[in-house]
Structures are given as C-alpha cells and as structure tokens.
Amino acid sequence: MDKDTLEQYIITERPTFPDMPLDFPNLFQQKRDQGVTWREIANSVGMTSGQLSGKLTKYKERVKEQMAGSGVA
C-alpha cells in the first residue's frame, strides 16, 4: 500500500484506537493542510520527533490492519 493511499484513508475515515490517545487523523490533516513538518507537530504535542515517529509507525500499522480487515487494502 502506498503512502498517499494510507494517508488519504486516515484523513477521510479518521480511525482511532482507545490505546492510542493522540488524534492522529487531525495530525495528518494538519501536516497536509498547513504544510507543517512532523518535527513541528511533535513539538506541538510535547514529544520529540523520535517519540512521535514511533507512535506514527504503530498507528499506521494498526490502520493497515483495519483496512485489510474491512477489505479496503
């Protein structure tokens, strides 16, 4: 699955998970609409870019699983 398809799904479907409290769909939306970097987003939520990167990776994996389970991917 390519990055653009995944990001579009996240922005459109806005998947959330109870054990992941960050509003990832909103963060992806900010990045796309405002042109901010992941580093700037990390700073805005009180994390280092490395911490946010790890959380983003886990979130995207969960979204991919959800997409595969619903027949989207």
Per residue of the chain (73 residues), give pLDDT as tens. 899 999 999 999 999 999 999 999 999 999 999 999 999 999 999 999 999 999 999 999 999 999 998 877 6
- SS3 call for 32: helix
Question: Which residue has 């900010």 as its token pair?
Answer: 30
Q: Which residues contact 45 (CB under 8 A, 6 or more apart)?
A: 22, 27, 52
Contact 63, 15 (CB under 8 A): yes
Global pTM value: 0.90
Compute the distance between CA of residue 69 and CA of residue 63 in angstroms, rounded to an integer: 10
